[in-house]
Homo-oligomer: A and B are copies of this chain.
């Protein structure tokens, strides 16, 4: 264990992160307001803001604020110089999303395929092609790309190797390394992370309750997985595998699960399990987004079987969420992926189960909400992950691309 030590570069980075965080939460704001909000002295704020303006990470607006004395110029984040890319390898295809450093969306692409049966090599080639196009598009907008992160429905180790992705049929695929090789740019920052972890990060960073220190994002398009933010940081566990809730046994004599046991949460409350309950598991459509849309339409039309099933599944999910709440004591549980669209019908039974079942929920008042990001959450979280270094106050090299 190497002890963590600090030097004066760390101090600058910590303070820079605080100023960026204040701007993200409260801009437009004055230098004086930043000093008050962060506890830094005005000279430090002035110097850091000057740095941020030089890098085009912040800019002065035309607006001023009149208190007593001379008017203060207001500052906002500037997204004109840098951006980051988030991607997802999902069962429904590949997604690429880019945000500029001020949180503005630059592009959002989805392509179906290569499909579950494809070899990792084929999928990685398609991923690299999409990544190159996204990088080019960001460059064409006059911005440098600070990094690229890929979310996968998988156990991912700290080196970015996919240890096991049951849904994709992958095992021991060195995704990060292969993607770096395919991109042909060894120095370009590429990361790989679990899709549920990234979904939680998306909520923590850009969601309706951004900044909530303890939250869980739950999704269930294939397996059921939880991403956890604990005390403001992603909960990863000793090997990077935390958040596996899918094989929680809800009903010992329940339906057979892919893991060989019976009655796992995944076998009872994932999207495929919901469809199986409604005898719709074998339909021609495999894209979870489109299948969810079909369910939503049936529920909106008042279809009795659909409504009954969603209430039952809400109860089962509620049992799983009760366990999460008792163990992790979050302030917020966000229903993501397909659960987001189905949330209106799932939530009442979930909340009932939480009231009846979870010890902590009763005392701790945990709120259950629906994600606004739907199936984009992992890619949006991947963008946030690519911005980690900047957000922790490590400035990038000055922008290469001239001001447009």
Give chain A interface residues in 215-252, CB to chain B under 8 Å: 226, 230-231, 233, 235-249, 251-252
The listed residue (B11, B22, B328, B360) touching A3 by CB distance below 8 A is: B22
A359-B328 in contact (CB<8A): no
Interface pair B238/A5, CB less than 8 Å apart: no
Which of B5, B11, B240, B359 is in CB contact (< 8 Å) with A40?
B5
CA distance A243 to B291 in the complex (A): 36
Cross-chain contact of A327 among B324, B332, B366 (Cβ < 8 A): B324
- Contact at A245–B6, with CB atoms within 8 Å? no
B238 touches A326 (CB 8 A): no
B6:A237 contact, CB within 8 angstroms: no
CB 8 Å contact bits of A336-380 with B (1 = contact, 0 = none): 000000000000000000000111100111100000000000000
In the complex, what's the smallest C-beta–C-beta distance from A303 to chain B, in angstroms?
29
Q: How far, in whole Å, are A319 and B264 apart by their CA atoms in the complex?
A: 13
Q: Which of B37, B246, B252 contacts A252, CB < 8 Å?
A: B252
Near B by CB (< 8 A), chain A positions 108-149 give none
* Pair B25/A15 contact, Cβ less than 8 Å: no
Question: Does A330 lie at the interface of the complex (its beta carbon under 8 Å from any beta carbon of B)?
Answer: yes
Q: How many angstroms between the C-alpha atoms of A81 and B242 in the bound complex?
A: 42
Residue A8, interface by CB 8 Å: yes
Q: From residue A7, how far is it (CB to closest CB) to chain B in Å?
A: 7
Interface contact B39-A18, CB-CB below 8 Å? no
- In the bound complex, residues from chain B placing their C-beta under 8 Å from that of A163 are 363
B155 touches A236 (CB 8 A): no
Q: Which of B238, B243, B323, B358 is A364 in contact with, Cβ under 8 Å?
A: B238
Q: Which of B7, B39, B328 contacts A5 (CB 8 A)?
A: B39
- Closest residue on chain B to residue A41 by CB atoms: B7
- A38 close to chain B: CB less than 8 A: yes
In Å, the complex CA distance between A4 and B21 comes to: 10
Instruction: Determine if A329 is an interface residue (Cβ-Cβ < 8 Å).
Output: yes
- In whole angstroms, how far apart are the Cα atoms of A323 and B22 in the complex? 38
Residues of A in contact with B, size category? 35 or more
| Bound: A40/B244 CA distance, A | 39
Measured between C-beta atoms, what is the minimum distance from A5 to chain B in Å? 4
Any B CB within 8 A of the CB of A43: no
- Cβ contact within 8 Å between B327 and A239: no
Would you call A213 an interface residue if the criterion is a C-beta within 8 Å of the partner chain's C-beta atoms? Answer: yes
Provide the bound-state CA to CA distance between A238 and B226, in Å. 17
Contact A238 B331 (CB under 8 A): yes
Say yes or no: B249 contacts A164, CB within 8 Å: no
Docked-complex contact B327 and A242, CB < 8 angstroms: yes
A364 touches B17 (CB 8 A): no
Q: How far is the CB of A254 from chain B (nearest CB, A)?
A: 10
Offer 22 A-B interface pairs, CB within 8 angstroms, sorted by A.
Answer: A3-B17, A3-B21, A4-B14, A6-B10, A8-B8, A10-B14, A164-B363, A213-B238, A214-B237, A231-B235, A238-B331, A238-B332, A239-B329, A239-B360, A241-B364, A242-B329, A243-B327, A244-B329, A244-B360, A247-B358, A251-B252, A327-B328
- Give A residues with C-beta under 8 Å from B: 1-8, 10-11, 14-15, 17-18, 21-22, 25, 37-40, 155, 163-164, 211-214, 226, 230-231, 233, 235-249, 251-252, 259, 261, 319, 323-324, 326-332, 357-360, 363-366
